[in-house]
């Protein structure tokens, strides 16, 4: 079981990388390893399902460039392969005068990033788009959309496998260790040993651990944040047409609780953002001794806590109180009641946390001998996945002399 390239991680970034590498190098044998029974079972399959526009990201950053390029490519991919999606647009709404300076800043960032068709709109115009929203104005973003990210991930892997009969995908196959050799590396997995000349790691919530197994002396650590969602009841669905976002807090790396129409017709509200005691734990009481120990013995975690104490406490209170969650939602849609919402699913987001507690790092990709590591790929990585895959394929050609 020898391959030219091994890709570790079957989320959308791993699948897009597998697909783009195979497309660029059709004669190379490539293997994809995923430790779960299905692809896209963690961050990809448990996010908001939004095709992001690129509105929030620093001009010139990897996030901005890859989100915008990736969005356009993802929409075309969805059209070409009949992936459920809808470019329905979204409104970002201000509900308080204090939010207007940051809304202006976001709008200007969107202009610098060349987001097509964005415009500032009045409260009346917001009501025309979303009749139940109460605001003092907002931004209309017509290129934002929704998509079935699980379906897109599966199609990318399927296309890669169809391109070369020598390539393979192994599910329920956890990478447990790596032994570097001169010509190739031995990969020790839960399903035996494999060999590959080159390695690409797209491991999301486990990115730091696999980087260390591969010999990278990484100072930062991945810390997980759980996001809980509520769903609107069938009787309340009419109150949300498409996507409604608040003006985000510029000091925190999350976009705030928002309303999202999913491709299956459900309306989700969320997510909040709370520290999780288990990296892959989706329940409020899920716990892993190893994950908790790793996070709480890392100084960056405590710096983050102290720097965002009041924000963090409010998020935790909201996680355990439907009433407080509703109160946040009512800032945008005052007519919502307790009977309109019921608990939905949860997701976990990986953040590569700096030692000083800073979470606002750009996408981060590093090289180590015959390996490429995607160390940090939070939102909008799913939207940007095909662009990230293309970027890695180009870098692999250079670094691996393919």
Residue 229 phi/psi, 5° resolution? -115, 150
Q: Say what the pTM is.
A: 0.97
Is the predicted pLDDT of residue 250 greater than 90, yes or no?
no
Is the predicted pLDDT of residue 252 greater than 80, yes or no?
no
pLDDT grade for 253, boundaries at 50, 70 and 90: low
In this prediction, residues 224-242 reach a mean pLDDT of 96
Is the predicted pLDDT of residue 159 greater than 70, yes or no?
yes
Q: What pLDDT is recorded for position 330?
A: 97
Note the CATH architecture for domain 222-358: 2-Layer Sandwich (3.30)
How does pLDDT run across 50-73, given as a tens digit for each residue? Answer: 999 999 999 999 999 999 999 999
Q: What pLDDT is recorded for position 311?
A: 82
SS3 track for 312-365: HHHHHHHHCCHHHHHHHHHCCCCCCCHHHEEEEEEEEEEEEECCCCCCCCCCEE
Look up residue 182 and give its two tokens: 């001169």
In this prediction, residues 368-373 reach a mean pLDDT of 96
**Exposed (0-12), middle (13-18) or buried (19+): which is 80, by Cβ within 10 Å?**
exposed
CATH topology of domain 2-45+150-220+361-399: FAD/NAD(P)-binding domain (3.50.50)
Q: What pLDDT is recorded for position 122?
A: 98
pLDDT grade for 316, boundaries at 50, 70 and 90: confident
Decide whether 2-45+150-220+361-399 matches 222-358 in CATH topology.
no
The span from the CA of 50 to the CA of 97, in Å, is 27
Domain boundaries, the chain: 2-45+150-220+361-399, 90-142, 222-358
pLDDT grade for 249, boundaries at 50, 70 and 90: confident
pLDDT grade for 121, boundaries at 50, 70 and 90: very high
């Amino acid at each position: 079981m020898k391959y030219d390239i091994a890709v570790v991680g079957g989320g959308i970034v791993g699948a897009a990388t597998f697909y783009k590498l195979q497309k660029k190098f059709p004669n190379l044998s490539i293997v994809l390893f995923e430790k779960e029974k299905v692809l896209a079972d963690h961050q990809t399959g448990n996010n908001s399902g939004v095709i992001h526009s690129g509105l929030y990201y620093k001009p010139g950053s990897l996030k901005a460039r890859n989100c915008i390029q990736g969005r356009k490519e993802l929409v075309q991919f969805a059209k070409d392969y009949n992936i459920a999606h809808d470019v329905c647009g979204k409104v970002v709404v201000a509900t308080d005068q204090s939010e207007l300076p940051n809304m202006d800043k976001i709008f200007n960032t969107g202009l610098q990033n060349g987001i097509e068709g964005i415009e500032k709109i009045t409260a009346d115009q917001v009501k025309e788009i979303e009749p139940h929203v109460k605001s003092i104005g907002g931004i209309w973003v017509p290129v934002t959309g929704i998509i079935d990210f699980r379906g897109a991930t599966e199609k990318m892997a399927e296309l890669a496998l169809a391109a070369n009969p020598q390539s393979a995908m192994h599910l329920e196959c956890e990478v447990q260790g790596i032994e570097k050799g001169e010509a190739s590396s031995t990969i020790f997995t839960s399903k035996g040993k494999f060999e590959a000349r080159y390695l690409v790691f797209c491991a999301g919530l486990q990115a730091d651990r696999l980087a260390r197994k591969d010999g990278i002396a990484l100072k930062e650590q991945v810390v997980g944040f759980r996001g809980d969602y509520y769903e609107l009841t069938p009787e309340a669905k009419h109150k949300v047409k498409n996507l409604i976002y608040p003006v985000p807090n510029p000091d925190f790396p999350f976009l705030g609780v928002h309303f999202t129409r999913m491709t299956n017709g459900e309306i989700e509200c969320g997510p909040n953002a709370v520290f999780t005691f288990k990296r892959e734990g989706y329940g409020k009481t899920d716990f892993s001794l190893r994950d908790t120990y790793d996070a709480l013995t890392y100084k960056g975690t405590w710096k983050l806590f102290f720097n965002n104490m009041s924000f963090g406490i409010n998020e935790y209170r909201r996680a355990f109180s439907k009433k407080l969650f509703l109160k946040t939602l009512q800032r945008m849609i005052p007519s919502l009641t307790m009977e309109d919402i019921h608990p939905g699913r949860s997701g976990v987001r990986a953040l590569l946390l700096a030692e000083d507690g800073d979470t606002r790092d750009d996408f981060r990709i590093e090289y180590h001998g015959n390996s490429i590591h995607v160390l940090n790929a939070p939102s909008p990585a799913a939207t940007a996945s095909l662009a990230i895959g293309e970027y890695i394929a180009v870098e692999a050609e250079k670094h691996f002399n393919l």
